[in-house]
Chain A
């Protein structure tokens, strides 16, 4: 039987500086104590999906740090957790609650997301950087009076070594990242993973987050991660790569249920 080492602790986030300002009901500030569970070897969900971390506080974005090409640190919330890349799910627990930020600033480099340059993002699909994908925001349609149009990306795949270019007909557009929690697109080999959404089946019929996978050579477009029906109102963020592995990370944050979960899922072949 798989041994799971579970760390569960509470950190009270009350700050004396803030509490001092509590002079009336309306100025009262309060924080829920946070409970974080870290599963050192991953809590198996399906054959290729593991739950790594769970917190009883909805965090809109965990922070990730990559100190080397073989490990990854996750800050969240108020606990620093390291993962060995070569043994997916294996965690190194590191608690630095008092001076977390000083420690991070001194020792860890933040995971950098592809920067948008003039409404264009480049994602590299192989370590040699001969294959890459450009995401370019498209223009607002003329019939969008009064709407705050969030433009979808026009996606093009480039292979500079073979001088090939291909426009990708994605099933649904990649979510733009003008505001809100971090959103990602990630390219590895022949597959582009991207955050998107599908219409829910319930009576409210609104859009639920999904992560899709597009196979560049065949054009096959499939759902890589979808939210369970009861969590359709939650925020799915991802995917991002776990260095040195075939695994991808994604996060589900449910504000209504005050719950954040970090998962690791094996990438497609």
Chain B
């Protein structure tokens, strides 16, 4: 073929660069996944394909420096061996157009996988490490084990209830750690307190009654935390453990969960948590996120 490298078409060059970005994106994804995920989804070796693309681009740039490029694509062009260091130091938030394009292409081609991967990244950022999920059967099995061992198991009790609804909590984490995760997660949103700083039990219950998933939590700085799932019962209850400033009982929601080593039951909030720890408590609603 006469002089093919010299006449590398702009579209070809763009396509190669996009593919290179896509490969790097996929490699980053693969680097983050654990053994289990690797076994599940596999781990592809892109090194050969990458070398070929680089060689083609490199050989072309060596032979012809006069290819028309716009300023932007030059600025964010796929780093060669020489500018790899610069790419590493680039702030994460600055997503080059070409990378964004590659991501968008990938998103379009594999929408489900893309959502799954982005969610995993988001969860890992929130969890500060690997976010381990587990099946409903596993949640329930753990829950039963903890219950039989007389260990406090509110985390596995609520984890099981959430998994029944198709919602993942990080597995094998203590409740305080799970609450840390929820604080940072895009999937969980804190329900604002009232103006006087008290928990908004009614707002939380209204959301649950409307079909949303709402969890009450207690992050305990001196012991283990606690959580329970709001049942969404329209009827609210009163308790001597929850009073207003005049000492009158206030309406509190019905929740489902486990107290101590007891089995999972439906009770009102007063059975689980007292007003004395209100400042350690929060209501969180679950949001399904799309990236």
Q: Which residues of A contact B (CB under 8 A)?
A: 13, 15, 18, 21, 25-31, 58-63, 75-77, 100-102, 104-105, 144-150, 173, 175-176, 178-181, 197, 204-207, 233, 235, 255-256
Contact = CB atoms under 8 A, between A and B. Distances in A.
B146 to A, nearest CB: 5
A204 B226 CA distance: 24
Contacts of A233: 263, 265
Contacts, number: 129
29 contacts: A18-B251, A26-B206, A26-B234, A29-B202, A30-B235, A60-B270, A61-B240, A100-B247, A105-B247, A147-B149, A147-B152, A147-B153, A147-B156, A148-B174, A148-B175, A150-B150, A150-B261, A173-B150, A178-B220, A178-B226, A179-B218, A179-B277, A180-B259, A197-B150, A206-B147, A207-B261, A207-B263, A233-B265, A255-B268
B151 interface: yes
B24 interface: no
Given A63-B240, A179-B273, A207-B147, 11 more contacts: A25-B234, A60-B268, A146-B173, A148-B153, A150-B150, A178-B224, A179-B277, A180-B260, A197-B261, A206-B263, A255-B267
Contacts of B243: 101
Contacts of B172: 145-146
A60 B241 contact: yes
A253 to B, nearest CB: 8
A73 B249 CA distance: 19
Interface residues of B, number: 56
Contacts of B240: 59-63, 75-77
B26 interface: no
B272 A144 contact: no
Contacts of B225: 148
A13 B154 contact: no
A90 B262 CA distance: 35
A77 B147 CA distance: 32
B260 A146 contact: no
Contact of B174 (A75, A146, A255): A146
A26 B153 CA distance: 30
Nearest to A140: B224
B238 interface: yes
Contact of B259 (A27, A104, A179): A179
Interface in B231-268: 234-241, 243, 246-249, 251, 259-263, 265-268
A137 B224 CA distance: 13
Contact of A148 (B148, B151, B236): B151
A149 B234 contact: no
